[in-house]
Structure 1
């Protein structure tokens, strides 16, 4: 069976898709399976010129928005790149971005296309202050979900909560399947260690949606209570300078290390103690599963896919979003009680291995793909 995994970003880019899809190739080998990956390079800009028409809505209602214009042009570019680069037929295409799914079905209308939706671009833009809720961009981007339902052969997402999020925007939400991301355990090697001062770590793109401002306020509260810690922030983004300034104003800059972007944070994540990320929204939150497989204690906000990964008090701690004092309370619990911290970390690691292993995902995908084997 000839399979194509259609990504948007190249697979070396950080994120949930890139943490799973490239590792699938070793599990889908000849003679029965042939799998290839496809994505559009970042350098491709303004190449496509197709007339764009969607079947379920008229996108021209929103065409005055620069965000919509950029999205449609990116779709045109993906169409152009697909026609230029793909010269063979596949038995099945699995798309991992809405633009990829729509383009693949346009170019290969007779080929079955499975669409996985891994995150919400519109929600990220709203939380990052780029667009307004119920504005033209929001309405355009949520209309894409019904178009995907209409054009592709099967819709999947990564968590039950994200399926609920998608439900108002499609006609048949009950038909959306859920396949959480999977992770190759061989990439994660827990290291026994004993840090005299608790080492906190977070890994994310530095944008408002990730709630790092809440984390900095919580850490300032910890310092006011006399708790010792070091906070390691791995990642980069448009608000890094703002966050560094905030750390200075809160008096915690000396206790905080900004690393910038790192390609493989899982290589040194095992040397920390507590993974913390108070996101304002997460469709799944792959980095929590990765941190759990590194045997770190998990502390996260009770939103989206994070709340599906963590049973608070059992394999990590959940706190309400937008609540730095509650976050400080949770962090203090695991800072002052190493035994409790280790207990949560062991339970978190076991849970991640049982629910988010790559073997489990491969088993589910093979069953799914064989339904289209002709």
Structure 2
């Protein structure tokens, strides 16, 4: 089967898709499978010129928004790049971004399209203060779910929570499939180590939606109770200066290390002890699965797809959104009791190994792909 994996961002970008799709290629390197990856180069901008028309809604109702105009121009650019680069036919397209799926379906209408929606751009923009809830940008972005439903032969998302979120925007919510992201067991694996002082780590884009202000307040509370720790913040973003200033104001700057963007954090995440991320929204939370495969204890907020990964008190701890006191108490539990921390981390590793390993997810995807090729249904 000739299969195209269509991304939006280049594969070296951080995030769940980039942690999965490029590493799937070797699992499809056989005479029975041929898989290629396609994406829009970062430098390519303002090339597309053609008119954009959607079947299920009129996007021009929102044309006065700069965000909508930018989205539409990016869609035009993707169409332009596909026309330039994709020449040979494929038997199946699996897209991992709405722009990728809609553009490829427009140009290859007879090729089956599987569309995975990995996250909610509109919720991120709302939480980060970029758009207003129910404003024109919000209405435009949620309208895309219905368009994708109409254009896709199979619609997938990465958590049951996000499938429920999408259900109000589509005609047939019961047709949405849930397949989580998968992570290469060769890259994310435990490494035996001992730290005299508890090492906390978080990996994310530095934006308000990730709740790092709540984490810093929780760490200040920990410090006031006399607990020693080091907090490692891996990632960059527009909120970094505000977070650094907040760390100074709270008196935890000396205990906090801001790394900035790091291409391969999996190379040293296994040497930490506790992964913590109090997100305000999370469709799946790929970093939790990555940290679990590295055998870290997990602490996250009880929101979105995170509770589907963390069974509170069994393989990690869940805390209410925005509650820095509850977060500090959860951190205190795992810092003060190394044996409990180990039990949590071991359970997290076992669950991630069974449900979020790349081997497991690739097997789920292969089974789905074969439904679109009757000649290969007996292939394992």
Give the TM-score range, shorter chain: over 0.9
Alignment correspondent of 2:41: 41
Alignment correspondent of 2:361: 361
Q: Distance in 2 between matches of 1:182 and 1:193?
A: 25
Q: Distance in 1 between matches of 2:183 and 2:327?
A: 27
Deviations 1:154-185 (A, max 9, x none): 10000000000000000000000000011110
Q: Distance in 2 between matches of 1:356 and 1:308?
A: 11
Q: Distance in 2 between matches of 1:152 and 1:291?
A: 32
Shift of 1:30: 2.7
Alignment correspondent of 1:277: 277
Shift of 1:153: 1.1
Alignment correspondent of 1:334: 334
Q: Distance in 2 between matches of 1:364 and 1:197?
A: 40
Alignment correspondent of 1:123: 123
Alignment correspondent of 1:3: 3
Deviations 1:323-351 (A, max 9, x none): 00000000000000000000100010001
Choose 130-139 or 182-191, whichever is displaced more.
182-191
1:312-323 mapped onto 2 (5 Å cutoff): 312-323=312-323
Alignment correspondent of 2:246: 246
Deviations 1:203-262 (A, max 9, x none): 000000000000000000001111111100000000101100000000000010000000
Shift of 1:363: 1.0
Alignment correspondent of 1:311: 311
Say if 2:183 is the partner of 1:183: yes
Alignment correspondent of 1:72: 72
Q: Distance in 2 between matches of 1:110 and 1:50?
A: 21
Alignment correspondent of 2:298: 298
> 3-state DSSP class of the match of 2:299?
strand
Alignment correspondent of 2:96: 96
Deviations 1:15-37 (A, max 9, x none): 00000001111111231100000
Q: Distance in 2 between matches of 1:95 and 1:89?
A: 15
Q: Distance in 1 between matches of 2:230 and 2:346?
A: 22
Q: Distance in 1 between matches of 2:118 and 2:110?
A: 24
Shift of 1:373: 1.0
Alignment correspondent of 1:107: 107
Choose 191-200 or 207-216, whichever is displaced more.
191-200
Q: Distance in 2 between matches of 1:115 and 1:309?
A: 23
Q: Distance in 1 between matches of 2:255 and 2:372?
A: 54
Shift of 1:152: 1.5
Runs of 4+ aligned residues of structure 1 deviating over 4 Å after TM superposition are none
Q: Distance in 2 between matches of 1:189 and 1:71?
A: 38
Alignment correspondent of 2:377: none
> 3-state DSSP class of the match of 1:186?
coil
Alignment correspondent of 1:267: 267
Shift of 1:189: 3.1
1:18-33 mapped onto 2 (5 Å cutoff): 18-33=18-33
Q: Distance in 2 between matches of 1:178 and 1:70?
A: 30
Q: Distance in 2 between matches of 1:189 and 1:372?
A: 34
Q: Distance in 2 between matches of 1:320 and 1:327?
A: 8
> 3-state DSSP class of the match of 2:3?
strand
Q: Distance in 1 between matches of 2:301 and 2:26?
A: 34
Shift of 1:190: 1.5
Shift of 1:271: 0.8
Q: Distance in 1 between matches of 2:210 and 2:265?
A: 17
Q: State the TM-score, normalized to the length of structure 1.
A: 0.99
Q: Distance in 2 between matches of 1:173 and 1:189?
A: 36
Q: State the TM-score, normalized to the length of structure 2.
A: 0.98
Shift of 1:194: 1.5
Alignment correspondent of 2:378: none
Q: Distance in 2 between matches of 1:162 and 1:247?
A: 32
Q: Distance in 2 between matches of 1:45 and 1:191?
A: 42
Instruction: Structure 1: give runs of 5+ residues left out of the alignment.
Output: none
Q: Distance in 2 between matches of 1:342 and 1:266?
A: 19
Say if 2:352 is the partner of 1:352: yes
